[in-house]
Structures are given as structure tokens and as C-alpha cells.
Chain A
Amino acid sequence: MVKPLLRINDFVVKFANVNGSGSASANGLFARSVLKMGVPVAARNIFPSNIQGLPTWYEVRVVEAGWRGRRGGVDLMVAMNPETWVEDVLEIEPGGYLFYDSTKPLPPSKFREDVTVIAMPLMAICNQTYSDPRQRQLFKNIIYLGALSSLLAIEPEVIESLLAVQYKGKQPLQESNRKAFRLGFDYAAENLKPIGLRIERRDKVGSRIFIDGNNAAALGAVYGGATVCAWYPITPSSSLAESFAKHCEKYRVDPATGKHRYAIVQAEDELASIGMVIGGAWNGARAFTATAGPGISLMQEFIGLAYFAEIPAVIFDVQRGSPSTGMPTKTQQADLLISAYASHGDTKHVLLFPEDPKECFEMGAQAFDLADRLQTPVFVMMDLDIGMQDWLTDPLVWDDARQLDRGKVMTAADLDAGKEFGRYLEVDGDGIPYRTYPGTHPKRGGYFTRGTSKDAYARYTEDGHAYVENMQRLLRKFESAKELVPAPAVQRAAQPTHAGAIWFGSTGAAMAESLAVLAKEGIHLDQMRIRAFPFSDAVAEFIAAHEHVFVVEQNRDAQLKMMLVNECGIDPQKLISILHYDGNPLTERFVTREIAEKARLFNVTPLRKAAG
């Protein structure tokens, strides 16, 4: 007989629902109520590409230790979808709990002996209380929220105050939701046996905020001075552009005239989106688009033009399951190669890798400075896991002394002062030329932008020497970018080791926890989180300093490893790939298991402690 789990502030609750049944609101309230109890959560919405009818899950990891990734496994399943019953019941940990609607009796074969069943006749309660079918459906969610509040000891006042905020100004709705909540709470208190999972009030959330990366990145674009946004709806990036619109309505309306200090165009496709971005940036505005892998595919020709004609552009790529249409509502990090080397011919592009919504904000703003400084496209490589999930993250900060860096722009005064202007002329030895905005000066500084070969003064030429010079300067410019992009974050293992681990982006959430678990098991790894491409010299040095380096990424073909091998001249044998690409957010258990297994295979052991 397996003992029921006894856990305080450290367990996983998973809600299995039907898409479009109104469950998202109740499940979101659950996560926020735990936060209001001062206990951190890591929440993941696992949803289908569908508006109504298909299965959808919401997983809330209650985690006092503050880990931000998924753990793996489920301790309490709230099984509200008959269609996925079998797999949902299977996923529960031995000793776990199954909460279900017992209105219709189910045969014993549908249950597990090692799982404690919590039966509540939700539909019967709803049918007794409500006559309207839609109300029966919607309030069912709030009723189970009430029951969970009682079972897990979430203070009911906490949820009631959240309901008050959610339905502020809509008194009847607030009251009916409160009643439904109390109905569930009271039923559970009177009829259900207490369980071994409990939430106790702590003060572990602090000033951290609960926000999704798309929202944070959009705010970053506002703080980064973006004024032109052109986009085409595509999951999982659409909410980035939509959030930008909301932020602009708040922060970018001229109070005197009510007029907009921004423009947002929903374009006819991604080709037009990137064209508008390039046109706007060519003309001196800060412009961006938000898209996903299929959009990057469509933008290839324009991205090559921007690289060769040296026009700034910021592209937020919220990566999803690929190739082709792939899995639009699933997460992956599989657009690295197509972004890093986008377009025909010899091209290389700057990529930024935020690890959480806070970095989405920071890099979302910094991308515009980099694009202007380097006069080239800059990709902010997000993914669905960061972009569309709410993460607990440190509060966003901004230094008011910071100025937007517009890069090397020659003004009318510069031209009048007799400064020599050649649009593609090497002046400072860093490969970055000067540009003028259109309309600057009646006589000087005008030039013709083209994707065809040109000389240092932007004059058309097919001369091979001029072409090679230009291509070499572009390489020097890329070299200069190394020093400007965010440096990798390095952390030494607690004990000296010959092995290391490299990762980027959303993988960090599971990595942090996994490395702590591995260290306890005696596997110590030095750590490097890559934050940008081109890779800083520190990346090659880190790999050189270790015998084995695990490269953890969320794609099939080890795209980061390929780039490390090619760009840094690394022996591929040194790099051990840990790959996860089923579209679900990475779990600590997966990473720990994979690294531990491969560490054994490759004989990766910690250095012996010094004698004595």
C-alpha cells in the first residue's frame, strides 16, 4: 500500500480541462491565490491549437524553493475532461491525489489503487444551483476552486479578494462568483476528507511579479523607443504586438492632443511586416515585428537586404514547434540556424537569448540600441514557454539616466562642418559606417540604398574588389558586435570539475534546479548561460577549459552545438548534446536524468578532492 503524499508548499497540481469551458480564469485565480499566500509558483498552460473543444491543461507547481521550471509528474490531478481521463490518471505520482466530478458513477477499473480519490458531485451541485446551462458550466470551475481552497488550506479571503479585483465595477458578477466559490469551499469542508497536500502562508514571493514574456518584451519595445510596429498574427507571438498596442495607449499618447507617438500596422503577411520595419528603420524610426518560425521563413529575402544594405530592424521570434506549421501551441528553440544565417548568400545576424520575462523586457529594449548601433537586424529569440506563460520574475527596472543609443548618424550640422560622408565607408575601424536619415541636407549626405553591390560611397558597382572589401567590413562589424551584445553568464560549480554545461533561453528554468540536484548526486558542472550571438570569446574559452561540456537545448538537431562547433572551431566530441523537443516545457527530471545518464556514459566525474 502506497502512503498518500504529505507535502507542504511543494507539489504539482494539474488541471485537465476542455478548451473554451471557462477554466482558464479559475485556474489562473488558483495560481495567483498561492502567490498571495506568499508561496512561489511555476505555472504552465499546456494548450491546443483550438478555440473550443480540444483538451487543455494548466499545471501549477507550488514551490516554496522558488524553482521556475516544471518538475515533472503530478501530485494532484483535477480531472475535468473525460476525454483525457486515462492519460491524466496515469500521470499522477504514486501516493498522489485525483479530484474528479463524481456526478456520474465510474467503474473501479477507471481508478488507481495507489492514488487517493477525491470525489465531488460538481455537476449535480451546479444543476441544483443554476438553471442557465452556461452558468452551470462556468461556475463549475469556480466551485472546484472553492473545494481546492478548502482541501489545500488556501485562505478563502485571499481568493475572495482576487475575485473582487477581477470583477471590479461588476458587482453582480463579483457576487455570483463569490457565492459559487463559497459553495465549493463549504461543500468540501463538510464532505471531503483532508488530504496530505497543504499550502502554508510564507513570505517567499517578495517584490517579484507574475508576467508573461510577450507582455514584458512589448514593454521593452516601448522603453527601447520603438515607434513603428508591423506584424502579422501568428501564434505564439500575437500577444506581443497586442501588448505593445496596450502599452502604447497607456504610455505613448500625447496628453495635450490625444495623438499617438507610435504607429502599429497589422500587415497582410510577414513579408510586408518586415518590409515596413525596414522602411521605418531606414527612415530613422525604431521599428520592429513580432513573429514565429514560419514568419522568419517568409522574411528571409528582406532580412538579407537589411544585412547587406545595413538597415536596423528588430525581430522578436517567439519560437514554437517546427518545421512547417509544426506545433503552433508548443514550445521549441529550433529557429537558431534559420535566424543566425537568415537569407541567401553570406549573412550572419545578431541574436539575443532572454531567459525569462525580465530579460525579455531588458533585451527587448536593448535590441533597438544594438540594431541602431550595428545598423543590422537583431533577433530577440524568445519561445512560447517564456512568451506566453506567466513567470515569477524580479521586478522590471529602468535607469532614468539611460539614453537611447541611435548609433552613428550624421546630422546636417556634421555635413555642414565638412565631415566626409560615405554610407559604407570604414571610418572608425570597427566596421560600422555612418548613415544619414533621408531628408537631412539639401546638398550632402543623400545616397541610394540597394541590395546590389556598391562601393563605400553607395555607388552601384559590380567591381569584385569593392564587393569583397564590403563583405570583409561586414565581418569586422560582426566582430565588433561581440563586445556590444550581452555577455554570457558564468557560474562555477561548488567543487572543481572538468565538466561544464551550456544552455540558453527558457532552458534555464529547469537547468538551475537540475544542476542543484546533480550536485547533490556528486555531478558538479561549471555553468555558462549564453545570452547572445555572435558568441563572446569567453564561450570558446569556457569550452576549452573543460573536457566535456553538456549543451542543453530544445531542438532535434543540436542547433546551438552546430553553431558553437562552426563559429568557435570546437571539436564536436567535446560537446555532449542534451536535446528536448517534444514541444512541452522542459522538466527538471528530464534534464537531471539525461545528464546523469550521459555523465556515466562519458565518464564525467568530478575531480577528486585534493588529498588531505
Chain B
Amino acid sequence: MTYLTKPKLHHPGLPTNVLGLTRRDYEGAVSTLCAGCGHDSISAAIIQAFFELAIPPHRVAKLSGIGCSSKTPTYFLGAGHGFNSVHGRMPSVVTGAALANRDLIYLGVSGDGDSASIGLGQFAHIMRRGVNMVYIVENNGVYGLTKGQFSATADKGSKAKRGAVNSDEPIDLVQLALVLGASFVARGFSGDKGQLVPLIKAAVEHKGIAFIDVVSPCVAFNNHPGSTKSYDYVRAHNEAVNRLDFMPHREPIEADVPAGGVQNVALHDGGLLRLRKLHLDYDARDKVAALAYLEAHRAMGEVVTGLLYVEDDPLDLHDAQNTVEVPLNALSDAELVPGSAALATFNAKLA
């Protein structure tokens, strides 16, 4: 970590987005994670994505559980409200928050211990409910803050820094999310910002739950030979199925995209996701095929990345709840309290 505080002055030549904000306006406090930590690259990608999307930082609620990854919401979007909640229970807190105010953007940041071990139950249920949020797991296969124990995503046979070999089967959160009904499922790599930033942007624009598993090497405890979550291993085994061009509705859409190699996915607000297929046989709308592809390539020791599954126009929790358009936290007394006359009628029926 660094002890230098960030200068408040901006370079006058910094590019601005349509809100007139620079990338610096999307930053947060200085990271206290280890130098070279994959999580810091993900924070940088989040900053870049929200800057490019020109979303006012204070309209984003950042929530997390406990662990290294869960510390990171302090390091981006400093003007937004953050909530570092209970280990493994970020999903329930986001669910309640999202119900209270449907107008904010919800970004949940979690880790593999937080989501696949202690929080697997809440992870599963938030996928089922379709909460409108971005759910990022910064996945390094290891407990960092408690110094190097395996997590539930560590591959069977992978070796810990001190030599122990993991004998348990790993939990693949991507496959779980698919099976449990997530409407947007992606995997990225903290070392590939070019792939990750568009994935985050697409996830933000997606209505419903958008899950991104980001393999994020732990330089302190899980970046050695024998680890399957190291920079070297993931670079060597990264199998990207597509690259994403994110096209918000504000920008014109090119008419002449190359046929066959492109898959277009409409967004609920009129925008478009354009997938440049690296594997022509991969169809990001086919859940069954995606599961088969993932399992086959996992068996080969490959880490499949890209936008793996997306549903065109999913319903979210607010649709299921049939809630009013006004955020519930903004309803007036008159809209909430039935009053004395209604109570008199109520009493009369029970007399």
C-alpha cells in the first residue's frame, strides 16, 4: 500500500465526460491493498466504466461484505454512499436497499470467500430474485486478510503458497449464477482491462442481476507456481469467447458490422450490446450451450472469459413486486398512512 495522499488538483488537460467530470471525480480514497493486487485493477476498471458511462458518482450505492475485495468500494466513486456490511451478507443488504430506492445504481463487490463460502446462500438467492444490480466477485481463490487459506473457488489440486494442496472441488460461481437464473453472466480477468471495462459498462446498463466473476490474482498469497489463480496461469489459460463493444443508446449504431462474427443484444433503454465473437460457435443467448461450453473448457483447465450469457429483456425484482415508479423511500405520509376513517371502517368489521 502507499501512504501518499492523492493531490486534489486536476491536470487542466484531463478529458471530461458529458457531465463535465474527469476520471479523477470517479476515484475514491487511496487503496490500502498490496501493491500489484488484482483488486486495484478492478477498481480502476470500475472507475473507467462509470466515467465513460457518465453516471453521476453520487447516484451509485456501493455495497460489500467483508474481506480484501469488500474493502475496495472505499477506493472508487468517493462521492457515492458505501456500505461495508456483514461477511457474506451483502446480497441481502443490496436487496433491501434496491427495494427502498429503485432510482439508484447498485454495485455489489464481494470476494470468493465472501460469496462462495460464508455467503453462498445469499449469493444463490439474490441470483434467483433478479435484483437490479451489478454483482462483482473479485475471485482470487484465497483468503487474503487472514493470510492465505484456500477459499471455495480454489481449484482441486491447486497449491497454496506454503505447499498445501487443495483436495476439495471448486465452486464455479459463473455456472451457479447461470443455473440460478441470473440474466447477465460474465467472467473477466483483472489483468485484461480492455475486456473488463466494457463488461462492467454492459452490466451497469443491464436491467436485472448482472454477475461478473473477475479472476483477480492475490500477489501476496496466491501468485506462485502451482496456483490456478496466478497472473501467469490465467494469462496462459484465458479462453475469451467474445469481446464486447458497448453501445449506449446515446451513440449512433454502425450499420455495417461484419456478419457471422457479431451478436447484437438490445438493452432495455434502447442501447445495444455488440459482441464480437472470437469463437463463432459461441451463442451468449443459449444458456444450455453456455453451461456445456463452460464445463468442457473447465475440464481442460481453461478459464473461459467474456460475456457468457445475457437475456434480452429480463424482468427484475421491482417487476415481480409490481412496485410504484416513485422510490419507496420518497413516498409521502398521505401515500403511506391510510388515516382515521379507514381505521374506523376496519374497527367496524371486527366489532
Identify A285's interface contact among B84, B101, B121, B344, CB under 8 A. B101
Instruction: Determine the residue in chain A with the shortest Cβ distance to B101.
Output: A283
Residue among B322, B336, B338, B350 making CB contact with A404, cutoff 8 Å:
B336
Query: For B321, what are the chain A residues with a Cβ–Cβ distance below 8 Å?
Result: 260, 263-264
A552 to B320, CA, bound (A): 47
On chain B, the residues within 8 Å of A447 by CB distance are 81-82
B217 is an interface residue with CB less than 8 A from chain A? no
Q: Say yes or no: B336 contacts A227, CB within 8 Å.
A: yes
A392 to B92, CA, bound (A): 39
Cβ contact within 8 Å between A261 and B331:
yes
> Which residues from A are CB-within-8-Å of B100?
227-228, 279-285, 287
Bound together, the chains give a CA A261 to CA B82 distance in angstroms of 26
Given the known A-B contacts A259-B323, A271-B92, are A438 and B97 also in contact in the complex, defined by CB atoms under 8 Å? yes
Please name the residue on chain B nearest to A404 by beta carbon.
B333
Output the nearest chain A residue to B329 by Cβ-Cβ distance.
A284
Choice from B324, B325, B329, B347 contacting A396 with Cβ under 8 Å: B347
Q: Which residues of A contact B5 (CB under 8 A)?
A: none
- The one of B91, B122, B342 in contact with A251, judged by C-beta atoms closer than 8 angstroms, is B342
A245 to B74 CA separation, bound complex (whole angstroms): 38
Tell me whether B104 is interfacial, beta carbon within 8 Å: yes
| A448 contact set on B, CB distance < 8 A | 73-74, 81-84
Interface residue A602 (Cβ < 8 Å from any Cβ of B) = no
B interface SS class: helix
A228-B100, A449-B84 in contact; A207/B92 too (CB < 8 A)?
A: no
Closest approach, in angstroms, between the C-beta of A571 and any C-beta of chain B?
A: 40
* Cβ–Cβ contact A261 & B125, under 8 A: no
Binding-face segment, B53-61, B186-194, B265-273, B305-313: B53-61
Chain B 50-75: CB-based contact to A (< 8 A → 1; otherwise 0): 00000011110101000000000110
A157, CB-defined interface residue at 8 Å: no
Taking the nearest CB of chain A, how far is it from the CB of B329, in angstroms? 4
A442-B93 CB under 8 A given contacts A275-B122, A448-B73, A451-B85: no
Q: Tell me which residues from 423 to 441 in chain A have a Cβ below 8 Å from any Cβ of chain B.
A: 436-441
Most A-side CB within 10 Å, residue of B63, B89, B330: B89
Closest to A257 in B: B324
CA gap between A185 and B104 in the complex, in Å: 65
Q: B259-282: which residues lie under 8 A (CB-CB) from chain A? A: none
Which residues does chain B contribute within 8 Å of A260, judged by CB atoms?
321-324
Chain A residues near B336 (CB-CB < 8 A): 222, 225, 227, 252, 261, 404
Which of the residues B59, B98, B339 comes within 8 Å of A439, measured between beta carbons? B59
Are A396 and B343 in touch, CB under 8 angstroms?
yes
Q: Which residue of A lies closest to B81 (CB)?
A: A438
Tally chain A residues at the interface, Cβ within 8 Å.
71
A452 touches B339 (CB 8 A): no
A41 close to B (CB within 8 Å)? no
- Answer whether residue A276 sits at the interface, using C-beta atoms and an 8 A cutoff: yes
Question: When the two chains form their complex, are residues A227 and B328 in contact, meaning their CB atoms are under 8 A apart?
Answer: yes
Report how far A284 CA is from B97 CA in the complex, Å.
Answer: 8
Q: Is B3 an interface residue (CB 8 A)?
A: no
Q: Is A230 an interface residue (CB 8 A)?
A: yes
**Alpha-carbon distance between A548 and B322 when the two chains are bound, in angstroms:** 57
Chain B positions within 8 Å of A251 at CB level: 338, 342
B94 touches A398 (CB 8 A): no
Give the docked Cα–Cα distance between A558 and B78 (Å). Answer: 50
Q: What's the Cα separation between A450 and B93 when bound, in Å?
A: 12
Contact partner, B95, options A265, A450, A452, Cβ 8 Å? A265
Name A305's closest neighbour in chain B (CB-CB).
Answer: B86
Please judge, given known A-B contacts A227-B100, A257-B324, A283-B100, whether A209 and B350 are in contact too, CB under 8 Å.
Answer: yes
Decide if A275 touches B93 in the complex (CB within 8 Å): yes
Most buried by A among B99, B325, B339: B99
**Of residues 460 to 478 in A, which have CB atoms within 8 Å of B's CB atoms?**
460
Q: What B residues does A287 contact at CB under 8 A?
A: 96, 100
Determine the residue in chain B with the shortest Cβ distance to A223.
B337
Does B251 sit at the interface, judged by CB under 8 A? no
A193 at the interface (CB under 8 A from B): no
| Chain B contact residues, CB within 8 Å of chain A | 56-59, 61, 63, 73-74, 78-86, 89, 91-101, 103-104, 121-122, 124-125, 129, 318, 321-325, 328-331, 333, 335-340, 342-344, 346-347, 350-351
Q: 7 interchain pairs (CB within 8 A)?
A: A205-B351, A261-B331, A268-B122, A279-B83, A279-B93, A283-B100, A449-B84
* Extra inter-chain contacts (12) besides given A265-B95, A267-B92, CB under 8 Å: A207-B351, A228-B328, A276-B95, A280-B96, A280-B99, A280-B328, A283-B104, A285-B100, A285-B328, A400-B340, A450-B83, A452-B84
Closest 6 CB pairs of A and B: A275-B92, A279-B96, A285-B100, A438-B81, A284-B329, A276-B96
